Every structure is written in structure tokens, then in C-alpha cells.
Amino acid sequence: MPNMSLKKNEMPVQDPMVRNGNFLEVALGYTEEQAVNEAERCLNCKNKPCVGGCPVAIDIPAFIMKIKERDFEGAYQIIAKSSALPAVCGRVCPQETQCESKCVRGIKGEPVAIGRLERFVADWHNAHATEKPQKPESNGHKCAIIGAGPSGLTCAGDLAKMGYEVTIFEALHLAGGVLVYGIPEFRLPKKIVADEIENLKALGVKVETNVVIGRTIEIDELFEMGYESVFIGSGAGLPNFMNIPGENLKGVYSANEFLTRVNLMKSYRKGSDTPIKDCKNVAVVGGGNVAMDAARSAKRLGAENVYIVYRRGMSELPARKEEVEHAEEEGIIFKTLTNPVEILGDEHKLVTGMKCVEMELGEPDASGRRRPIVKPDSEFVIDVDCVIMSIGTSPNPLIRNTTKGLDTNKWGCLIADENGLTSREGIYAGGDAVTGAATVILAMGAGKTAAKAMDEYIRSKN
Amino acid sequence: MYKILRKEVLNPTVTLMDVYAPLVAKKAEPGQFIILRVDENGERIPLTVADFDREAGTITIIFQIVGSTTEKLNHLNEGDYIHDFVGPLGVPSHTEGLKKVAVVGGGVGCAIAYPIAKKLHNLGCEVHTIIGFRNKDLVILEDEFTAVSDVLELMTDDGSHGTKGLVTNALLGLIEEGHNYDQVIAIGPLVMMKFVCQLTKQYGIPTVVSMNPIMIDGTGMCGGCRLTVGGQTKFACVDGPDFDGHLVDFDEAIERSSMYRGFERQKHEETCNLFKKEVQ
């Protein structure tokens, strides 16, 4: 008899007023008992609607049944067939709009906590597994991966498992991409990312950091070096600004810069060599997950008041519901239906405030969301000494500018077909470099698809 | 890890290093820069390429000891390793088609001006060099510049070497003598570049400056290095570091460069104290 509770087992979390002063992980993870109890809520549906909601098609009911049997390693092995980074996805996937949105239990009550169970299984495996993955026998063919983020790591892992000699080229000094420079420690501990990368290395994947493809080496040279196929997973790293007056004042950061300083360069730690401005009142402009990450990081760094400034309403926030709730619990103040028009500074060009206007929602626009319209004579100033612009990113132009014949669309995203193939033979692409800023799991799905296509391409040539 | 093959103290505050980085050396051009981290927990700092040797696989960097990171870097010796070293980054300087150029360097900026002067000289361009320092103890690369310059004016603030005065005095003198330059290339402290640009604007001489703002990744990711050029925001790391000096908002750049000054000063002191303790 399944557990018919209408509610998920609650995730144990750090107390909001404690955690907003530290960078330790917010969610503490299920115990074995909680995991088994939650697994018992799964009806093991024959038609498995949840699997259709997963971009990498994990056999969800099968791994949950293993949890029910307390065969946690067995559960891990089922997930590992489809996902290269389960400990990461269990934490950062938007399950509520993917697998869990299709769960039959969600029709009446809450869906099965698939994400929390995935995380539990991955953490259990990482804590108990003694054997490293083995390097498969080489098939003698070389593939190059550009960018050590979610899509590149997934593509590399899949190709390595097929026997390819895989090298990942990473521009930064550390592998992980957005998982290490963007997503904060309190949401995704960096140790987890490092462990996943060690697993890839055990499979024989080489990681060359400090190589900027397009500058240090160009893609055409990779082919000369003997790589038969190339995957571009260079992400969407270029921050957008609003182009309003005052954006170059001291104290205005892109979310990318702010988060990179805090996460990758560890400026949240005392004694770090990389500085970050001491701020009392911080406005984060934008309403996505990155904005929530920036706001919650600013709070943890000691800011007294942190505002999310977003031009639409609470229900339009693009961030995951859980992230919004966590932010609210931690004391982040939401100023929705508010849009900045100017950032104000003093004689030393330090930020002193942000001039905003109030908005109201009009008719739905092309995206289907109600279009924000400025309320007349609604100007007001928020008293802040720091502004973090979190209004999206675009792909870096470096690769498209240095590789002949690589087509892009009007937003600068690489054009790739459903298999990830670009306009150049042998060159595949996926993740944010193709879609523009999206999610970790979609990037992983693209990396997987491309790995399969690259394998077919190389085999068709030989 | 990137091995230091040669270290030379150019003056009490400026050091030269040849670093083994064959991939970077294969591609580097004058005007480009690298980003390095001294150790595992170090910050990322940009340094302009001072020279390169494609065959030996080395990049020459010349840096002034101004903060904690450059202090730590200066404590490394031949045979030691730099933890991270990535490049070449940025757009190379444009040198094509120039017939007569005035290269103006100030302080450690001369280290960046030198490879450009050398390249122009090798391309057959007439090179007039003006380099300025605070005093004779801080002079660097005098012989190197002499070898690649048709005219060399060396200026010191106190007159202890060369001519007493500012680089702008010497540049004005050369312009007044009737030299017509296709371009002036100015590399040095922001204030120096600002005044060189003010002068050349009056005479309508195109002027290129090399900007070296605070940055983290150097590939366009953080936007920390943004500048206003001709009323538009540009990223020094991918759009530069060379810009039309007559369009750069220097006052904004000067303010932005001071963003972390307090932190840097404190950090530098801490590092110096640490090194002192080690010696004791």
C-alpha cells in the first residue's frame, strides 16, 4: 500500500535567520527514513508520465522503487544511466515545471518529491561509493569539448563512456562553468561539483583549464591537432546591462561579476585576495534564479536591506518558486512592479540610490506575459549603495568571430539542429551557447544528444 | 602551472619575468594581455604582454609592485611556478599602414609601449618615443627603446635623468617642431593618458590609448572592466584594451580604478608583514 499522504516529506533546512548569515548549504537533505517514506508515495505508474518531463529521461519510477527497497546504490545506477550530474540536478533542476509537474500524485496534493529523492540517492552514493569509475578501453578517436559547464561535462562523460579520448578546454582556472562561478555555495556546494569532475577524470576525460578557445587556440586548429569532432558548450556568459544613466558608477555590478567574485574567487571568505564592496543596502534588478542567488549572497555578505527590483508582479517572477520562498524567508524585500530608470551617485561616483518608476501590467505581449507599463508620475528613489544587474546574459562572440562558417541567429546564439549539429561539419553545440540563458538540465540534455550524434558522425567517417 | 624561466629586477618597484606558456606565446601580439593567479587562492590580475618568444615558448611580463598580488608575484623566483596564466586576451594593437608614430610611455606603461614601438620599427615606421618616469632610479627599458626609436625623449619629474618635465612637454615640443604624426600611442597612468589626449586633440592627431581597468575573467564575462567610450559602454577585455583616446571618459575610468583602493592597501600591508615574518 503506497503512502497516501497528500504532502511531500518536508526538506530539512537551516533556519532562515541563521542561514542568511552563512554560506553553508540551505537544504540539508533527506534522511534514509524520509527518503524511503517519500519513495512510498510513488504509485509506480505504468506509463511513467514523469519521465516525459525529464530532459534527460531518467527512469524515475525505477530508481524510486529501488529506494523503497533500500537499494540506494541500485537507485544511483539507474539515474547514472541517464544523468552525468545527479547530485547537481537534484539540487538545481526546476523539477516543479519538469518531472514533478507530470506526477499523478500532483493532481490531488503534492507530487512525489522526485528532485529531493534524486539528491538523496546521489549524496548517498557519493558518501558510500568506494570504487572510482573505470576508464573504458579507448577506441582511438579524439573529441574536443569547449567549456567545462553542464553541457560540456555531460557530453564529455558520455563520449568517454563510449571509449573516446576526450579533452575539455576551459577558459577559467577551474572546471564547472556556471556551477562554480554562478550558483552559490549555499545552493550547490562546490565540493559536489569537484567530485563530479573527479569522476569524469577517472573515466579518462582530460581537463585543460586556462585555454580560451578563439584566442589561445582556434577551433580549426583543434581539427589540425587530431580532434575529429568538437562540441561547443561555451555558455551565455556576456552580461546585459539596462543602458540607463549611472550604470558605470562604483557599486554597480553585473550579477555575473558579483557572483563570480563571491563564488569562484571566494570573496565571501575572510582573507580572500579578491575584494567585494561592503554594502549596506543592495538592489538586485531582475527576477530570475540568478537574481535570487545574487540577493541571497548579498544578504549573507552582511547587507542590511536587500531588494529584488522587478518590473512585473510576484506571480510573474521567472525564478523557481522554492528560490523565491527561500529568499523571502531570509528577509529579501521584493519590490515588484518597479523598474529602475537611473542610478544615482555622489561626487566620488559611488552609488547612493536608484531612481525607479512604478509599473502596472497591461495586455499580454508576444511572450504571453502581461506587458509592464509605466505608471505616470510614479518616480521614487530607493536608498541603496549597491546595484546588481541581473537581467540576463548573451553568448560570448569570441568563438563565432574566430570560426569561419559558424552560423548564429540575431541574438548571437549558435544555430544547431535537433542533434546539436552546427552549420559546420563535425562541430556540434549545445546549452546556453545555442539557447541563450536557460537551465542546467536543458544544457545537460543538449550535451547528451550531441554526444550521440558525434559518435555517429565519427563512426560514419571511419 | 607555468614556470618562471627568467626574473630581472628592472628597478626597486618594477620586475620582469619570462614565463613558459607556449600556447600563449604562439598567438600573442603586441597590445594583448594575459591574466594570472599567483597561487591557488589568488586573485586574477591582468598584465599586458611586454614581449614574447614563439620559439622559446615564453611570454615576458613586466609589473609594478603595487598590491598584494604583485608583491607575492615578486617573491617568486626563477624556477618557481605561477599557478594560472591565460591568454592572449584582448584585441592586438593596430600597426598596419602607419608611417610616423609618436609612442608615449609613462612609468611601467613603458613595458607595454615597448613591444608596440618595436613592432612599428620592424615594419619600417618612423618611431618617435617619449618615455617618462618619476626619477632616474625608476627608469626602465632605456636601451631597448633606444634601439627601436628614431627619436627618443626621456623625461623625469625631477630631472635626475634625461630632461626635467612631463611627457606632454616633450610631445608638445616635437609637434611644435613640425613633426606630423599619423598617430600617437599613449600608454601609462590614466592621468598621463588623459593629458596626452587633451594635447593631441588640439592638434587633431589620432591617439590610441591602452586601458588596464579592474577585471576578473578577461573574456567578457564579468563586465567589471567597462568604460565609456564615445558615450557607449565598452568592455576593455574584449573590445580593447586599445581605444580611441579622444573618446575615452578618463574621469570615469580614474574613479572606477579606485573602487577597491582601501582593500588593496590593507591587503598589501598584510602581505608585506607576512613576508617580513618569514624573513625573521
Q: What is the pLDDT of residue B275?
A: 82
Best CA proximity match to A365, nearest among A316, A308, A319, A432: A316
Q: Where are the beta strands (DSSP E) in chain B?
A: 2-11, 14-20, 33-37, 45-48, 51-53, 58-64, 81-82, 84-89, 100-106, 126-133, 151-156, 163-164, 183-187, 207-210, 226-229, 232-235, 242-244
Which chain A positions have a beta carbon within 8 Å of B89's beta carbon?
212, 215
Task: Please tell me the distance in Å from A397's CA to the nearest CA on chain B.
Answer: 9
Judged by CB atoms closer than 8 Å, whether chains meet at B86 and A397 is answered as no
Judged by CB atoms closer than 8 Å, whether chains meet at A216 and B86 is answered as yes
Lateral strand order in the sheet of B2-11? B51-53, B58-64, B14-20, B2-11, B81-82
Q: What is the pLDDT of residue B184?
A: 97
Asked whether residue B267 is domain-assigned, the answer is no
A391-447 pLDDT, tens digit each: 999 888 888 888 999 999 988 899 999 999 999 999 999 999 999 888 888 999 999
Lateral strand order in the sheet of B126-133? B163-164, B151-156, B126-133, B100-106, B183-187, B207-210, B242-244
Looking at the fold, whether B46 and B118 belong to one and the same domain comes out as no
Looking at the fold, whether B73 and B153 belong to one and the same domain comes out as no
Query: What would the grid cell of residue B119 be?
Result: 613592432
- Domain boundary, last residue among B42, B70, B89: B89
Q: Is B217 on the interface with A (CB under 8 A)?
A: yes
- Cis before B88 (ω within 30): yes
Q: Is B70 on the interface with A (CB under 8 A)?
A: no
- Please give the residue of chain B at the shortest CA–CA distance from A346: B255
Q: Which residues of B, range 36-65, sit inside 8 Å of A by Cβ?
A: 37, 41-44
Please check whether the two domains, A142-237+394-461 and A241-391, share a CATH topology.
yes
Q: Is B29 on the interface with A (CB under 8 A)?
A: no
Q: Which residues contact A107 (CB under 8 A, 6 or more apart)?
A: none
A136-182 pLDDT, tens digit each: 999 999 999 999 999 999 999 999 999 999 999 999 999 999 999 99
Best CA proximity match to A253, nearest among B264, B212, B261, B225: B225
SS3 B231: coil
- Give the confidence band of B19 by pLDDT, cuts at 50, 70, 90: very high
Which chain B positions have a beta carbon within 8 Å of A209's beta carbon?
84
Asked whether residue B95 is domain-assigned, the answer is no
Q: What is the mean pLDDT of residues B209-222?
A: 90
Query: What would the grid cell of residue A218 be?
Result: 582556434
Which of A209, A260, A277 has the CB atom closest to B222's CB atom? Answer: A260
Q: What is the mean pLDDT of residues A300-315?
A: 95
- Domain boundary, last residue among B34, B54, B89: B89
Best CA proximity match to B102, nearest among B168, B31, B198, B33: B168
Looking at the fold, whether B204 and B108 belong to one and the same domain comes out as yes
Q: What is the pLDDT of residue B271?
A: 85
- Please give the residue of chain B at the shortest CA–CA distance from A276: B260
Task: Please tell me the distance in Å from B234's CA to the nearest CA on chain A.
Answer: 11
**CA-CA-CA-CA torsion for A316, A321, A325, A326, nearest 10 degrees?**
-130
Asked whether residue B128 is domain-assigned, the answer is yes
Q: Give the H/E segment covering residue B259.
A: none
Pairing mode of beta strands A338-345, A351-364:
antiparallel
Least confidently predicted of A57-66, A271-280, A385-394: A271-280
Q: What is the pLDDT of residue B198?
A: 97
Cα A177-A183-A188 angle, rounded to 5 deg: 105
Counting the structural domains of chain B, the total is 2
> Do residues A253 and A386 touch, judged by C-beta distance below 8 A?
yes
Query: What would the grid cell of residue B88 be?
Result: 592572449
Asked whether residue B219 is domain-assigned, the answer is no
Domain that holds residue B47: 2-89
Q: What is the DSSP letter of B78?
A: T
B168-193 pLDDT, tens digit each: 999 999 999 999 999 999 999 999 99
Looking at the fold, whether B77 and B114 belong to one and the same domain comes out as no
Q: What is the mean pLDDT of residues A116-127?
A: 95
Pairing mode of beta strands A351-364, A370-374:
antiparallel
Q: What is the pLDDT of residue A192?
A: 92
Asked whether residue B10 is domain-assigned, the answer is yes
Q: Is A272 on the interface with B (CB under 8 A)?
A: yes
Asked whether residue B178 is domain-assigned, the answer is yes
Pairing mode of beta strands A338-345, A427-429:
unpaired
Return the bridge partners of B217, or none: none
CATH code (residue B163): 3.40.50.80
> Do residues A160 and A182 touch, judged by C-beta distance below 8 A?
no
Which of A241, A265, A396 has the CB atom closest to B219's CB atom? Answer: A396
Q: What is the mean pLDDT of residues B49-74?
A: 93
How far the first Cα of chain B sits from its last, in Å, is 29
What Rg do the C-alpha atoms of chain A give, in angstroms? Answer: 23
CATH code (residue B40): 2.40.30.10
Q: Is A210 on the interface with B (CB under 8 A)?
A: yes
Query: What would the grid cell of residue A58 be?
Result: 531518467
Which chain B positions have a beta carbon within 8 Å of A237's beta carbon?
217, 219-221
- B11 φ/ψ angles, rounded to the nearest 5 degrees: -160, 175
Looking at the fold, whether B119 and B203 belong to one and the same domain comes out as yes
Judged by CB atoms closer than 8 Å, whether chains meet at B220 and A396 is answered as yes
| Residue count (chain B) | 280
Query: What would the grid cell of residue A230 be?
Result: 568538437
Of A170, A273, A396, which to mutate for an interface test with B (greatest number of B Cβ within 10 Å)?
A273
- Give the confidence band of B280 by pLDDT, cuts at 50, 70, 90: low
Task: Please tell me the distance in Å from A395's CA to the nearest CA on chain B.
Answer: 10
Q: Is B254 on the interface with A (CB under 8 A)?
A: no
Judged by CB atoms closer than 8 Å, whether chains meet at B41 and A209 is answered as no
Asked whether residue B238 is domain-assigned, the answer is no
Q: What is the mean pLDDT of residues A264-278?
A: 86
H helices, E strands: number in chain B: 9, 17
For residue A327, count other CB atoms closer than 10 A to its CB. Answer: 25
ipTM: 0.90
Task: Give the dihedral sign, CA A295/A246/B186/B153.
Answer: negative
Q: Is A65 on the interface with B (CB under 8 A)?
A: no
Task: Please tell me the distance in Å from A402's CA to the nearest CA on chain B.
Answer: 12
- The reply to whether CATH 1.10.1060.10 applies to domain A25-128 is yes
Q: Which CATH architecture has domain A241-391?
A: 3-Layer(bba) Sandwich (3.50)
- pLDDT over 90 (residue A183): yes
The rounded distance, in Å, linking the Cα atoms of B88 and A237 is 19
- pLDDT over 90 (residue B276): no
Give B277 or A177, the one with higher predicted confidence.
A177
Q: What is the mean pLDDT of residues A199-210?
A: 94
- pLDDT over 90 (residue A368): no
Q: What is the pLDDT of residue B96?
A: 87
Return the bridge partners of B151, or none: B128
Of A216, A249, A269, which to mutate for an interface test with B (greatest number of B Cβ within 10 Å)?
A216
The rounded distance, in Å, linking the Cα atoms of A40 and A96 is 19
The rounded distance, in Å, linking the Cα atoms of B135 and B130 is 15
Cell 515588484 belongs to residue: A336
Looking at the fold, whether B202 and B171 belong to one and the same domain comes out as yes
Which chain A positions have a beta carbon within 8 Å of B263's beta carbon?
275
Looking at the fold, whether B158 and B114 belong to one and the same domain comes out as yes
Q: What is the DSSP letter of B36?
A: E
Pairing mode of beta strands B2-11, B14-20:
antiparallel
Looking at the fold, whether B117 and B196 belong to one and the same domain comes out as yes
Q: What is the mean pLDDT of residues A45-58?
A: 93
Q: Give the H/E segment covering residue B195.
A: helix B190-203
- pLDDT over 80 (residue A367): no
Task: Please tell me the distance in Å from B216's CA to the nearest CA on chain A.
Answer: 8
SS3 per-residue string spanning chain A: CCCCCCCCCCCCECCHHHHCCCCCCCECCCCHHHHHHHHCCCCCCCCCHHHHCCCCCCCHHHHHHHHHCCCHHHHHHHHHHHCCCHHHHHHHCCHHHCHHHHCHHHCCCCCCCHHHHHHHHHHHHHHHCCCCCCCCCCCCCEEEEECCCHHHHHHHHHHHHCCCEEEEECCCCCCCCHHHHCCCCCCCCHHHHHHHHHHHHHCCCEEECCCCECCCECHHHHHHCCCCEEEECCCCCEECCCCCCCCCCECEEEHHHHHHHHCCCCCCCCCCCCCCCCCCEEEEECCCHHHHHHHHHHHHCCCCEEEEEECCCHHHCCCCHHHHHHHHHCCCEEEECEEEEEEEECCCCEEEEEEEEEEEEEEECCCCCEEEEECCCCCEEECCCEEEECCCEECCCHHHHHCCCCCECCCCCECCCCCCECCCCCEEECCHHHHCCCCHHHHHHHHHHHHHHHHHHHHHHC
Q: What is the mean pLDDT of residues A102-118?
A: 95
Q: Mean pLDDT across chain A, nearest whole number?
A: 93
Which of B87, B220, B255 has the CB atom closest to A349's CB atom? Answer: B255
> Do residues B8 and B61 touch, judged by C-beta distance below 8 A?
no
Q: Is A460 on the interface with B (CB under 8 A)?
A: no
Q: What is the mean pLDDT of residues B9-34?
A: 94
Pairing mode of beta strands A305-310, A333-336:
parallel
Looking at the fold, whether B114 and B203 belong to one and the same domain comes out as yes
Of B217, B254, B269, B274, which to mutate for an interface test with A (greatest number of A Cβ within 10 Å)?
B217
Interface contacts A/B by beta carbons within 8 Å: 108
Judged by CB atoms closer than 8 Å, whether chains meet at B252 and A248 is answered as yes
- pLDDT over 90 (residue B152): yes
Query: In this structure, which topology does domain A142-237+394-461 adopt according to CATH?
Result: FAD/NAD(P)-binding domain (3.50.50)
* Domain residue limits, chain A: 25-128, 142-237+394-461, 241-391
Task: Please tell me the distance in Å from A37's CA to the nearest CA on chain B.
Answer: 43
Query: What would the grid cell of residue A93 be?
Result: 533542476
The rounded distance, in Å, linking the Cα atoms of A154 and A428 is 14
Best CA proximity match to B237, nearest among B132, B78, B50, B87: B87
Q: What is the mean pLDDT of residues B209-221?
A: 90
Asked whether residue B186 is domain-assigned, the answer is yes
Of B37, B86, B221, which to mutate for an interface test with A (greatest number of A Cβ within 10 Å)?
B221
Q: Which residues of A, range 242-261, sit inside 8 Å of B by Cβ?
A: 243, 247-248, 250, 253-254, 256-257, 260-261
B114-145 pLDDT, tens digit each: 999 999 999 999 999 999 999 999 999 999 99
Judged by CB atoms closer than 8 Å, whether chains meet at A211 and B23 is answered as yes
Share of chain B above pLDDT 70, in %: 99
Return the bridge partners of A166, or none: A143
Judged by CB atoms closer than 8 Å, whether chains meet at A241 and B69 is answered as no
The rounded distance, in Å, linking the Cα atoms of A32 and B206 is 71
Which chain B positions have a beta carbon within 8 Å of A250's beta carbon?
255-256, 258-259
- Domain boundary, last residue among B210, B239, B263: B210
The rounded distance, in Å, linking the Cα atoms of B253 and B42 is 24
Pairing mode of beta strands B58-64, B51-53:
antiparallel
Which chain A positions have a beta carbon within 8 Å of B254's beta carbon?
none
A334-347 pLDDT, tens digit each: 999 999 999 999 99
- Give the confidence band of B267 by pLDDT, cuts at 50, 70, 90: confident
Give A188 or A83, the one with higher predicted confidence.
A188
Return the bridge partners of B207, or none: B184
- pLDDT over 80 (residue A1): no
Classify residue A254 by burial, with Cβ atoms within 10 Å: 0-12, 13-18, 19+. Answer: buried
Judged by CB atoms closer than 8 Å, whether chains meet at B44 and A212 is answered as no
